[in-house]
Amino acid sequence: MTNRILVIGCALLCLAQPAHTQEKRLRAWKGGGAVQLERAILLQAPDPTLAAPVLEAEPEYTWGRANTLHWDITPVLTNCTALGHALLAFEIEARYLLSGEVVTLWGFVDAAVDSATFANLPEGLAIDYRLRYFAQNGSGEYLMSYWSEIETSIQDLKPPVLHALSGVQAVQQIGLQRWIVGELARIRVVASDSTFGKVMQVSVEEVSETGTRLVRHDIIPPRLHVDTTLQHVLYAPMKTPFQLRVWATDVALQESDPSVESLVWWPEDEGTGRLICFPNPYSPQGATEPVKIKVGVPNVSKARIFDPFGNLVITLRKQKEQPFFSWDGRNGQGDLVANGGYICVVDGKTDLYCKIAVIR
């Protein structure tokens, strides 16, 4: 597809002036009598032998103040060649109703150009676009096609908004650490768009040590306000930190600011029958927080840390109503333990344990 061309127009349909530079593109063709030729063509009736051009389909809403229209030159050239005509130029037009008055923007583009851009368009108004072209037959007579079918679009200037209610459900948190149990994340999405747009899609992106994965969920039909819960199967490895980004996209392809959460997910059997220890591995020298050891059963107040040889390292205590123990990587004498694997076991419940790797 060739370069997009800025279309210049006026409120009333007027004749384009001949251009003196290639950049303006505001002419039907080269030649000293361009204005007179344009006037002569515009005053005559369309030629029924010229097939009307076709504009590419427009979306219901278009982003921003500008809109670019596209068309396929090939059918027009084929038709003109078959009739022995030379294609001279296209004329593109935009019309909308403002305060009861019809505003018309228009301009000419070269025969080899297949797109044109209208700038400074109003927001929220239905804008109709149409296209026609001019040709010259072998006898030197100038011909004009019928207008194309009208394509309509509305300019949308504001992106959608993702509201504070959005986010992953059933998140557990101890200190700065956040996790969910199980690899199926339930994500509530509450989003809305401006009066001149609709939310059509929600995107969920995971970023972890294994890479990035993006899943798009279509909203059918697009709506001004969306409140839905997505069932999202996580791609990130279990027990490994990952970032989850969620955002909404409207029909004009504008994106909301994302909701960003840093999480890990824990297997369901370990999340219910054992302890959850995080972070794991743990580096006590560079850590801002101790290891959090979450207990999934009530009325537990004491746990013990053992080294790989079964020697007691330290006894941990907490109030029974508290959900977790804390361990800073030190033994009972206050010294940092050596690198290696350690086991935390809840007193009186040998089936409740977790392994903690210490890296200094």
pLDDT digits (tens, 9 = 90+) for 80-97: 999 999 998 899 999 999
Confidence of residue 18 (pLDDT cuts 50, 70, 90): very low
Question: Quick check: 41 and 144 in contact, CB under 8 A?
Answer: yes
pTM: 0.62
- Per-residue burial over 96-106, b if 16 or more Cβ lie within 10 Å, else e, is beeeeeebebb
φ, ψ of residue 34 to 5 degrees: the values are -60, -45
Rounded to whole angstroms, the Cα distance separating 106 from 22 reads 18
pLDDT at 110: 86
Residue 218 has pLDDT above 50, yes or no: yes
CATH code that applies to domain 275-358: 2.60.40
Of 20-34, 249-263, 340-354, the range with the highest mean pLDDT is 249-263
Asked, colleague to colleague, whether 34-156 and 275-358 share their fold, the answer is yes
Quote the percentage of the chain above a pLDDT of 90: 51
Task: Supply the pLDDT for residue 68.
Answer: 93
CATH code of 34-156, in short, is 2.60.40.10
Contact 142, 50 (CB under 8 A): no
Domain boundaries, the chain: 34-156, 161-266, 275-358
How many other β-carbons are positioned within 10 Å of the β-carbon of residue 143? 20
The answer to whether residue 41 scores a pLDDT higher than 50 is yes
For 274-300, write each residue's pLDDT tens digit.
Answer: 677 888 888 888 777 888 888 877 788
pLDDT above 70 as % of the chain: 85
Q: What is the mean pLDDT of residues 14-25?
A: 30
Task: Decide yes or no: CATH 2.60.40.10 for domain 161-266.
Answer: yes
pLDDT value of position 269? 59
Asked if residue 337 has pLDDT above 80, the reply is: yes
Q: Given this model, what pLDDT does residue 279 score?
A: 81
Quote the mean pLDDT of the chain: 83
Report CA torsion sign: 136, 139, 140, 141: negative
Determine the pLDDT at residue 29.
Answer: 36
